[in-house]
Structure 1
């Protein structure tokens, strides 16, 4: 069964699931690539790892229609925004990809938090 076939996953939830999974992927890539960039990347790595973990968890909570997904959505949005700001400070392609993708994830998570 595809996620869009789940009865509880309306268009907003499905978009948020997709955004969270994309954010998790780009942040895993960024954290791994930042490890090879040298000093000054520790905060970026930590935030990207946190985003990857929280966004993948949030996507799973939404997929199972957890009663806690709205609570997690607010944390997810805050973390995505903070990580996007940090990544925007670095010129690396992987950081810029995070800075571009994460605000959309944050926005969709904010919508889920207020739903």
Structure 2
């Protein structure tokens, strides 16, 4: 069969639809002024909430950074205090005090020793 015969056979099986007398126009979806205002207010609220959340997170980050700096300085001060305590213990040892007293020309006389109780 040639191409023309095939086309005619197809058209006979599926006749072309007659054009419809009604032409439908697409209806445009229109929003009223109140609805537009609601959408604008909603998006402004969402924007405000997003900015507020981000600013709170920034403040929290800065506060945490400050807390960490304070904790680091506290730890450093504790180490220094501990080192000074160890030095006080070393310097206040009885043997060291006796040695310093002898170096300065002092002597231990047990008759002149007074015991002080706390």
Q: Which of the five TM-score ranges fits, normalised by the shorter chain?
A: under 0.3
- Please identify the structure whose Cα radius of gyration is greater: 2
TM-score with structure 2 setting the length: 0.24
Higher relative contact order (CA 8 A, sep 6+): 1
